[in-house]
Structures are given as C-alpha cells and as structure tokens.
Amino acid sequence: MATSQADLEKAYGGKAIIFKPEAGFAILGFSKEAGELSTLTTSVNQNALTTPEVNASGFSAWAGGWSAWAGGWSAWAGGWSAWAGGTGTIPTTPSENRFAFNQINLAPAFTFSKNFGEGIKVAVIDTGIDLNHSMFSDRLAPSNEWKDYVDGDNYPQDVSGGGAYGHGTAVAGLILQVAPKADILPIRVLKNDGSGDVSAVASAIDWAVQKNADIINLSLGTNVDVAALKSMIDYATSRHIYVIASAGNEGNSNSISYPAAYATSGTNAQYLISVGSTQSNSTLSPFSNRSSALEIAAPGEWLYTSYPGNQIAEVIGTSFSAPIVSGALALAASETSSTNLSGLETYLLNGGWAISASTRHLNVKSMLSYVPDFQYWRKVLFVVGSYPMTPADQLVNDQLWQMGFNVTVKVGGSSATSDATGKDLVVISSTVTPADVNTKYRNVSVPVITWEAALFDDLGMVTASSGYYGTASNQTSISVSNNTHPLSAALRLGDLSEYGPGAAYSSGQTLSWGKPTSSAIKIATLTGDASKAVIFGYDPGTSMVGLNAPARRLGFMFNDTSPLQIRDSWWTDWLFKAAINWAVSGN
C-alpha cells in the first residue's frame, strides 16, 4: 500500500504533481509515452488513494475560438480610472460594452452594489495577464501569490506572439468591468498559442485553492474527460470555491467541453458553473457549445476589454462569457454574508431567464435581488401631488420598486426636509404644487431628481428668472447632444426617433426644460432649441446658482402624464432608468 508521496512515486515511476491524501487522490506525471503506461496497476494504492491519472503527452487544454484586434487605449483612458482606482462611486460602463451590459442589467446592479466585488479574489488560470496594464492597477493579488507553470517562475506575464496572446489579459479585464473592486490572482498555464498541459491546469487549481481564491475562472477546456482535471475540480469545489468554466466554441449541439461538462453532476456541483455565449438578441451564439449541462449564458460577441500594451481588444467566444459570470459572482459574493455564499449559483440561475430547457441568461440585477441580505436596501423618497397617486406617478412608483428600491411616498404639502434623512434618493414629480415643496430639498446631501420645471430655480439648478425654465407642449422628439455620458443610456446623437424620422413619441407630449449653468452636464435638449435642456445634471460640488451641488441634482424631461410613455417607448424607459442609476450612484 502506498501511504506517502515517495511510496507512490516509487511504485509507479512517475512524479507526483498533486498529492492530496486528505482528499483521497494524487496526480502523477510520466515521461513515458501513453502506450507504455498500460501495464501500470493500481494494487499498490488500492486502499490508500484513488487510481492516479496518467498524464501523458496526449492531453492538452485550449483557449481557442476567439478573435481580437488591438485598438488605441486612449479611447478608454478616461473611463478606466474609475475602475482601476476603486473609487467609492459607481464606475461608468465603457460605452462600447454598454449594449452587452444592458442585456445583463449591469448598470442597475451597480446602482445597488455597495462593495463592487471588494474582498473577493478571482483566480484567472489562463495565458497570464499583462501585469503592467493600467486597468489592473491596485487590482492584482500580492505578487508573492502569482504563478507561471509555463516558464516555471512567479511572473505570469502574457507573452507576445501566437494566436492566444492577450487571452488572459482580456479575460481579467472583463471580470473587472463587472466587479471593479475584485482582486485578480494571475496564474499562467497556457502558452501564447493557447495550448497547455492538464498537469499545469491541475497544479494551478491547487495553487488557487492554497491562495484562498474565492472564484476560479477557467476560460479553457478539453474535449477529453480527463480524470486528473475532474479530481482537481472536485477538490476545489469541495472547499466551496466557485469554478466558472467556458463551454467551448465548436458549435456542438449536444456536448460542451470539459471541465464545464462536469457542472451538473457531483456532490458539490453547485460550485461549478458552465457558461455559454449569447448574441445581441440574447439567444445562444451559433458557435457556442450547448447541452443539458450548460447552465448559464452571457454576452460573448464583440466585447471590448483590456489587451497587452495598455490597449483594448475586441473579443468573441465563450472564453469571454465566462469572466462576465465570474465577475457577477464576485459582485454578489461581496454583497452578502458568508452564510449565503453556498447559494450563489441558485441566486444566479433564479435571477436569469430561460433561453432553453436547461440554460438561463445572466441577469446581474435580478441575481442580486435574490441575495437574502441585499434586497431593497436602497431607499427612495418619492414626493407627489396627491394620494392616491395619478396613473403616471403610480407607474413611476412601480418602476422604482421593480428596479429594487424601497419607496416611501409623501404628498408635497405634508413633506418635510427631514423626510430625506436616511434616503438614497429624492424624486419629485411635477404633480406637486411647487409652493408646497419650494426649497425643502435644496440643501439636502442626498441626490434629487425632479421634472417639475418650477422647482429648478428653487433647487438652484437654474437662474430664478423668466425664460430660464418652463415647459414645451406638443413635443414629439428630443435631441441628444451627449451620448458618451451614462445619462444618455448610450443612445445615438441627434433627434431621437422611434416612431419615424425625428419622432420620439407617437403623439405630442409636454416636456420640462431648463437652462442650467455652464457647470451642468447637458444630455438632451428640445429639438430645434439647443439652449433648453430636457435632461441635465450636476455632480456633487459643482457650481449651480447660489450654491454648489450638495449631491447629484438632475432635471428630467417628464411632465404630469409623460411618464406613461415608459410603457410604450423603449428609449424613454432606458433614459429614465439611466437617470435614476446615475443620480443614486452619487452617494
């Protein structure tokens, strides 16, 4: 009976790559050819360890099926500072990925996130990463935890040349776009051509476990059911570490790659999650492997992410869907107590919607709503003109609840400044009588949104003179003048159209407008009058009229009945949610 590592190596003549007697297995590597290993027996360790996996030269891991081009980093240089710096405000989603992230409801999730993945360590087992990339500033695990199983050192730098160069850098960048305060543990197992030995992958998983990774991202796989790989996956999941594995890119209709294929079997299967790719219409990408073992899917086409040399890349493949899911889990894990961590896969799957009999589509905001100690923690004061509310105010109230806010409704005349205490946002409808509200919320250090134009001056958002605020009737369009800001919801420049050229609404609407100071952020104006802003805001501390903004302030285009357009106009819905998300993120 082999009871020690030395006994096992002597009995089989191979080197013990992994020796885990407490877990009941070992992995041996051999210099012999696969055919020479057939005479090995298991009698020596029959009662001590499970049969060692023969790791000959025939097995390899891959990270294939992706394409990339290296773009100018300057295009995102301004946007990344919020991600890399780990500031207290919600990061701005890069505009190039905004539509993909709208598919997974990431912006609303950021609205409610308190920690953004902080304290969660994600091991990226891949081609290494660009360790000097500015996106990873202050976001890497301590350097004494890094590992390179290709070069045999502790410097897992993405190596230039080869078709997979930059793969790991791109994967890590996507994780940080979803969980910007998570920590990345870089472990290199794949060469720049995307190939690598299973022994290296197994060793890397063991290393990640030793370094207390919370999540392991495996954007790699093999088409062979390799016991060594299965043993190490089981070892990690038995220690309640989440392993996220990509499904592969061959377009198989009834099989996915290993280790993703192990996701629905085993004692700790809830800790192994298989990930496929979706396209822009939220259906599975044609190249994405699928089977009954495919659990979740996320955008995997034309994503923009980090690339070596402080650049960006456009990438495609299930390899890049997996890190989006890893980021989502990191985001959720940082927002809940340790007692709920075992339920993360349940929250993930329950939060998604079905795109096949076995596969759900990722919805980050909905996933967070299932986390027991996370629901409705953000509070909104909604000030209205009457109670019961008008149909338009009721719709706004319902939308706020659906977005995950805990809403307190107050009638303007009976509302007080103190009602804003402990709230994360104050929303004031135009149904209020302006004199009933006046300056009650002018100085509160809580974000305020209103679409009552007559309150713009009371709040210090415009000059208190005729011609600086008002309403415009019979409006069927608005003109978007700034579509790079989150308030624009990434909508195109120019006259916003849904019902025809220049037509924003199917019928004329009354819109509120104001003429803010030069410090304001102007997003959209009345069509034909660029001086009258219908969506404008102030960041905290910026100059308004008579005061600096105590917190974010936002003037929005609605009027008494126009919120009803949320039901009929997709872009109105997007703009409203973008306004709420931006305002509340200023806390």
DSSP string, 377-427: -SEEEEEESSSSPPHHHHHHHHHHHHTT-EEEEEEGGG--GGGGTT-SEEE
User: What is the pLDDT, as a whole number, of residue 419?
Assistant: 98
User: What is the pLDDT, as a whole number, of residue 315?
Assistant: 87
Catalytic residue among 126, 183, 457, 458: 126
* pLDDT interval class at 486 (50, 70, 90): confident
Whether residue 391 sits in one domain with residue 454:
yes
pLDDT of 327 higher than 90: yes
Of the three residues 58, 78, 101, the one that is the final residue of a domain is 58
Instruction: Report the side by side order of strands in the sheet with 147-148.
Output: 147-148, 183-188, 121-126, 215-218, 242-246, 272-278, 296-299, 360-361, 353-354
Kindly state whether residue 298 falls inside one of the protein's structural domains. Answer: yes
pLDDT of 12 higher than 80: no
Sorted by sequence, the CB contacts under 8 Å of residue 166 that are 6+ apart come out as 68, 70, 127, 130, 158, 307, 308, 313
What pLDDT, in 10s, does the model give residues 564-573?
A: 876 666 777 8
Whether residue 513 sits in one domain with residue 460:
yes
Residue from 370, 371, 362, 405 nearest 178 by CA: 362
Q: For position 165, which CATH number holds?
A: 3.40.50.200
Torsion angle of the four alpha carbons 69, 70, 75, 77, in this order, in degrees rounded to the nearest 10: 140
pLDDT of 496 higher than 60: no
Least confidently predicted of 192-201, 256-265, 454-463, 493-502 = 493-502
pLDDT of 471 higher than 60: yes
The alpha carbon of 446 is separated from its chain's Cα centroid by a whole number of angstroms, namely 26
User: What is the pLDDT, as a whole number, of residue 124?
Assistant: 98
User: What is the pLDDT, as a whole number, of residue 43?
Assistant: 32
Whether residue 414 sits in one domain with residue 281:
no
Residue appearing with tokens 């290199």: 188
- With H, G, I as helix, E, B as strand and everything else as coil, classify residue 248: coil
User: What is the pLDDT, as a whole number, of residue 159?
Assistant: 83
Residue from 90, 170, 113, 173 nearest 137 by CA: 173
Contact 219, 192 (CB under 8 A): no
pLDDT of 162 higher than 80: no
User: What is the pLDDT, as a whole number, of residue 521?
Assistant: 95
The two three-digit tokens of residue 466, written as one number: 């005729």
Range of the domain at 436: 379-584
Interior/surface letters 243-269, b for 16+ CB within 10 angstroms, e for the rest: bbbbbbbbebeebbbbbbbbbbeeebb
Top mean-pLDDT range of 56-65, 221-230, 348-357, 481-490 = 348-357
Q: What is the C-alpha separation between 526 and 507, in angstroms, rounded?
A: 16
Kindly state whether residue 65 falls inside one of the protein's structural domains. Answer: no
Of the three residues 344, 370, 396, the one that is the final residue of a domain is 370
Contact 518, 565 (CB under 8 A): no
Sign of CA pseudo-dihedral 528, 532, 535, 538 = positive
pLDDT of 52 higher than 50: no
Q: What is the C-alpha separation between 587 and 576, in angstroms, rounded?
A: 18
Which secondary-structure segment (H or E) carries 299?
Answer: strand 296-299
Whether residue 159 sits in one domain with residue 194:
yes
- With H, G, I as helix, E, B as strand and everything else as coil, classify residue 272: strand
Q: What is the C-alpha separation between 355 and 362, in angstroms, rounded?
A: 10
92 vs 77, 403, 484, 488, CA distance in Å?
A: 12, 19, 10, 12
Specify whether 160 is catalytic.
Answer: no
The two three-digit tokens of residue 284, written as one number: 């599975």
Q: What is the C-alpha separation between 549 and 499, in angstroms, rounded?
A: 37
* pLDDT interval class at 32 (50, 70, 90): very low
Kindly state whether residue 457 falls inside one of the protein's structural domains. Answer: yes
**Mean pLDDT along residues 460-488:** 90
Q: How many domains does the chain have?
A: 3
469 vs 296, 451, 517, 521, CA distance in Å?
A: 49, 11, 12, 16
Q: For position 506, which CATH number holds?
A: 3.40.50.880
Catalytic residue among 113, 130, 148, 167: 167
Catalytic residue among 319, 430, 479, 569: 319
* pLDDT interval class at 7 (50, 70, 90): confident
Whether residue 76 sits in one domain with residue 35:
no
User: What is the pLDDT, as a whole number, of residue 575?
Assistant: 87
Beta strands per DSSP E along 89-214: 121-126, 147-148, 183-188, 195-197
Interior/surface letters 342-357, b for 16+ CB within 10 angstroms, e for the rest: ebbbebbbebbeebee
The alpha carbon of 461 is separated from its chain's Cα centroid by a whole number of angstroms, namely 33
User: What is the pLDDT, as a whole number, of residue 313?
Assistant: 82
Average pLDDT taken over every residue of the chain = 83
Q: What is the C-alpha separation between 272 and 232, in angstroms, rounded?
A: 12
Whether residue 102 sits in one domain with residue 41:
no
The pTM of this model reads 0.71
pLDDT of 492 higher than 70: no
User: What is the pLDDT, as a whole number, of residue 504?
Assistant: 55
Specify whether 167 is catalytic.
Answer: yes
Count of other CB atoms within 10 angstroms of residue 79: 15
Whether residue 443 sits in one domain with residue 348:
no
User: What is the pLDDT, as a whole number, of residue 112?
Assistant: 75
Instruction: Count how many residues are written for the chain.
Output: 587
Whether residue 321 sits in one domain with residue 173:
yes
Specify whether 133 is catalytic.
Answer: no
Contact 535, 555 (CB under 8 A): yes
Q: If you count DSSP H runs as helices and E runs as strands, how many of each does the chain have, helices first?
A: 13, 28
User: What is the pLDDT, as a whole number, of residue 29?
Assistant: 64
The two three-digit tokens of residue 296, written as one number: 């979740």
Kindly state whether residue 53 falls inside one of the protein's structural domains. Answer: yes
User: What is the pLDDT, as a whole number, of residue 86?
Assistant: 26
Residue from 65, 76, 62 nearest 307 by CA: 76
Which secondary-structure segment (H or E) carries 26?
Answer: strand 25-29
Q: CA end-to-end span of the chain, whole Å?
A: 64
Least confidently predicted of 405-414, 434-443, 499-508 = 499-508
Kindly state whether residue 351 falls inside one of the protein's structural domains. Answer: yes
Higher-pLDDT residue of 55 and 228 is 228
Least confidently predicted of 44-58, 236-250, 534-548 = 44-58
Kindly state whether residue 64 falls inside one of the protein's structural domains. Answer: no
Of the three residues 370, 393, 415, the one that is the final residue of a domain is 370
Whether residue 283 sits in one domain with residue 361:
yes
Contact 394, 328 (CB under 8 A): no
What pLDDT, in 10s, does the model give residues 56-106?
A: 333 445 554 444 444 333 223 222 322 322 223 334 445 568 789 989 989
Whether residue 462 sits in one domain with residue 322:
no
Higher-pLDDT residue of 271 and 7 is 271
Higher-pLDDT residue of 427 and 160 is 427
**Mean pLDDT along residues 310-330:** 92
Kindly state whether residue 530 falls inside one of the protein's structural domains. Answer: yes
Contact 526, 534 (CB under 8 A): yes
Whether residue 383 sits in one domain with residue 366:
no
Rounded (to 5) percent helix, strand, coil in the chain: 30, 25, 45
User: What is the pLDDT, as a whole number, of residue 564?
Assistant: 85
Higher-pLDDT residue of 231 and 54 is 231
Whether residue 399 sits in one domain with residue 352:
no
Angle (nearest 5°) at CA 299 between 296 and 302: 155
